[in-house]
């Protein structure tokens, strides 16, 4: 049995004595950056004539060395979101990069995204799940194809600006109905608007929704006061604050 750490280098004899069995147990160093070890065998007859080498067998060593940490290069706010750029781990067996985040005042970091390995040296991630007027701390870890994680990168901090969101609700009363109309200004795309209603002094309850910029309420009763508010639902799943209240007296 012969072995080598490189298939292009000379193979070293591991068994000076002839092995009559068909199995061989070897002990290898696993604390090395050389991922594979290669084996070949030869047969020998009673006249000491040797055969050609067998086909080469490649064995991957168990991975106990974690990948190199990514290096964060920049962090900045972009239109109410946070943009994070880092140099990817230089380890060749990296499979993923994980981004961790915590809000200032929290004690625990939480993984917010798992990104597949890319060929580029640098990567950028735009965090759209942040809230306005908050301070966030981030770091990045690499994960290799055996599940080992790198040490964390250095932490970086970014504070988002105050909310640029604006929601205005108005009404147009008609004889037997009311038309609610609204104006929503936000950095995020609105996908749906929730309509809340209360009757007289009852608490507000979810009443309906709209994909447009208006809503008709046809279910009105005389001698009652109807109160309305709306809430925007954004493309990223987040929601706005409730709007101002408008009242309709029938």
CATH of the domain at 126: 2.60.40.10
Tokens found for residue 55: 């086909």
The domain boundary residue, chosen from 131, 159, 187: 159
How far apart are alpha carbons 135 and 98 in whole angstroms? 20
Structural domain count of the chain: 3
Looking at the fold, whether 58 and 116 belong to one and the same domain comes out as no
Q: Dump pLDDT digits (tens) for 197-216.
A: 999 989 999 999 999 999 99
**How much of the chain exceeds pLDDT 90, in percent?**
67
Check if the beta carbon of residue 38 is closer than 8 Å to that of residue 5.
yes
- Measured CA distances, 8 to 16, 31, 37, 92 (Å): 22, 22, 12, 20
The domain boundary residue, chosen from 100, 128, 159: 159
**Does residue 37 register a pLDDT over 70?**
yes
Compute CA 7 distance to the chain's CA centroid, rounded to the nearest angstrom: 38
Looking at the fold, whether 175 and 229 belong to one and the same domain comes out as yes
- pLDDT band, very low/low/confident/very high, at 53 (cuts 50, 70, 90): very high
Looking at the fold, whether 155 and 78 belong to one and the same domain comes out as yes
More confident residue, 60 or 88: 88
Looking at the fold, whether 121 and 148 belong to one and the same domain comes out as yes
The domain boundary residue, chosen from 95, 125, 159: 159
Looking at the fold, whether 143 and 117 belong to one and the same domain comes out as yes
- Average pLDDT of the chain is 91
Compute CA 205 distance to the chain's CA centroid, rounded to the nearest angstrom: 34
Q: Which domain holds residue 92?
A: 71-159
**How much of the chain exceeds pLDDT 70, in percent?**
99
Q: Dump pLDDT digits (tens) for 147-185.
A: 999 999 999 999 988 666 789 999 998 878 899 999 998
pLDDT of residue 163: 63
For residues 37-54, give the mean pLDDT: 92
Compute CA 54 distance to the chain's CA centroid, rounded to the nearest angstrom: 46
Looking at the fold, whether 205 and 182 belong to one and the same domain comes out as yes
How far apart are alpha carbons 135 and 79 in whole angstroms? 15
């Amino acid at each position: 049995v012969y072995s080598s750490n490189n298939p292009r280098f000379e193979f070293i004899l591991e068994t000076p004595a002839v092995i009559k069995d068909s199995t061989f147990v070897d002990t290898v160093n696993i604390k090395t950056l050389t991922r594979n070890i290669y084996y070949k065998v030869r047969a020998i007859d009673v006249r000491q004539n040797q055969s050609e080498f067998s086909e080469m067998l490649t064995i991957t060593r168990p991975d106990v060395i974690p990948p190199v940490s990514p290096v964060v290069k920049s962090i900045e706010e972009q239109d109410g979101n946070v943009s994070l750029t880092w140099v990817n781990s230089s380890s060749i067996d990296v499979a993923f990069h994980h981004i961790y985040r915590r809000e200032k005042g929290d004690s625990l970091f939480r993984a917010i995204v798992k990104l597949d390995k890319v060929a580029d040296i640098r990567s950028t991630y735009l965090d759209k799940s942040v809230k306005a007027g908050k301070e966030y701390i981030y770091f990045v870890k690499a994960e290799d194809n055996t599940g080992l994680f790198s040490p964390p990168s250095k932490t970086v901090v970014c504070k988002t600006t105050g909310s640029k969101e604006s929601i205005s609700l108005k009404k147009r009363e008609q004889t037997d109905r009311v038309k609610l109309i609204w104006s929503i200004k936000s950095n995020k795309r609105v996908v749906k608007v929730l309509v809340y209603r209360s009757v007289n002094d009852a608490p507000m309850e979810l009443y309906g929704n709209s994909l447009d910029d208006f809503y008709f309420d046809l279910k009105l009763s005389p001698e009652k006061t109807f109160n309305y508010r709306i809430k925007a639902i954004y493309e990223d799943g987040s929601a706005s604050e409730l709007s101002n209240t408008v009242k309709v007296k029938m």
